[in-house]
Amino acid sequence: MSGPGGNETRAIGGIRPAGPGAFLVIIPAYNEQGALAQVVKSVHAHVPGAPVLVIDDCSEDSTLDVARRAGAEVLALPHHLGLGGCVQAGYKLAYELGFEYVIRVDGDGQHDARDIPRILDRLKTSGCEMVIGSRFAEANGPRTGAARSLGIRFFRMVLRPILGKPVHDPTSGFVGVNRRALDLFSRSFPLEYPEIEALVVLQRKRFRFEEVPCRMRPRMAGRSSITALKSLYYIVHVLLGVFVNMLRFEGRRRLPPKEE
Amino acid sequence: MDRLLNVTTGLSALLLVIVLISVRRAHIRPEYSITWLLAAAAMLVLSRVRPLLEVLRRLTGLPDTPLTLFLMGAGVFLIMMFRLSVILSHLRDDNIALAQRVAILEYHVKSQREI
């Protein structure tokens, strides 16, 4: 089956090396056997022909088999690396295979695959390096729990002066990147809680991001990796990561696009 | 004071022996044992050469010698812990990069076999 940009989907022999315009959907997954099959099928249904790569972060359940049975390609990590290491492995493979765009969808079913074309379209037309699928980009966005909402507001406030523009949903994992960001993230990507720090990594390079409104659903199965007890650690860790990335800031001059 | 110095000497000597045995049994790699050996040797010298401890006390402006010995020991081990944190961080980064590379290579190998 021929995919966007001439990709082969679910081809024997894995995902084929791609060229300009090709895009890949990656799904980092850790113990997501309950929702993953539905997520993969939903991507195939709404983005026909798109190659789907599940990165299995050494799950203890049958995530790996579920992903294969659902028709996804699987990159199986030899041991648990955490979300950042897992996503970065997918970015590295996508970069090596020559993909121009990569869209990350979470494996818990919270992201709606119908929004993938919108993110891809914005990536292609805006020329910015990253597009975030945002729950809150529209005024009547969904409500989240009080603690999470407070956390998101706090990080919006922290990031506003650093990024020089507001970001409505800094913790969203529904993210599309182009090849310049892929190149950067293949070499430097936050390893534990990557979403917020990745924005600062982009800012270091004077790369741009935009947000597009997206639908967000409750997770279909499993539990969030960020429990109540881990919230405080999360805030301290992310703040430290943001601060460290600011110290690495590489100047105000925007880097020229890299030759491919 | 003498008892404190003797206890420090004994503990430093014990640490030296434990580290040397660990290196011999390959429980610690030699390159990581150097910091421990240096720390133990430093504490051994400080506890045995009182004039040196007195000089350090005057230099640091501390009120008494036991406190100087305690702070020097704490300082030496803090530096060691920092160095170990640096080593651990490098190892973790290398480990993650290696795991990712193994996964990607396995993916390519598997893809080739399927063709």
Q: Which residue among A12, A13, A75 sits closest to B103, beta carbon to beta carbon?
A: A75
Structure tokens at A8: 């082969």
Give the three-state DSSP class for A53.
strand
- pTM for the full model? 0.81
Q: What is the reported pLDDT for A98?
A: 93
Task: For B41-91, write each residue's pLDDT tens digit.
Answer: 988 998 899 899 889 889 989 888 888 888 888 888 899 899 889 999 999
Across A39-63, average pLDDT: 94
Across B107-111, average pLDDT: 91
The Cα A217–Cα A29 span in angstroms is 17
Checking if the pLDDT of A226 tops 80, the result is no
Q: Which of A242, A250, A120 is CA-nearest to residue A170?
A: A242
Whole-number mean pLDDT of chain A?
84
Q: What is the reported pLDDT for A153?
A: 85
Cβ contact, residue pair B114, A14, below 8 Å: yes
Q: Which of A51, A38, A40, A56 is CA-nearest to residue A2?
A: A51
- Between A40-44, A131-135, A165-169, A253-257, the lowest mean confidence (pLDDT) is in A253-257
Q: What is the reported pLDDT for A254?
A: 47
Checking if the pLDDT of A249 tops 80, the result is no
Across A199-215, average pLDDT: 89
Domains of chain A in sequence order: 4-247 (3.90.550.10)
A94: contact with B, CB 8 A cutoff: no
Across B105-112, average pLDDT: 91
Checking if the pLDDT of A257 tops 60, the result is no
DSSP H helical ranges for B1-115: 2-24, 30-48, 50-60, 65-114
Say what the ipTM of the complex is.
0.80
* Stretch 126-145 of chain A: residues touching chain B, C-beta under 8 Å: none
Residue B85: list chain A partners with CB under 8 A: none
Checking if the pLDDT of A110 tops 50, the result is yes
Domain map (residue ranges) of chain B: 2-114
Of the residues B85, B90, B94, B96, the best mutation for testing chain A's interface (the one with the most A CB atoms within 10 Å of its CB) is B96
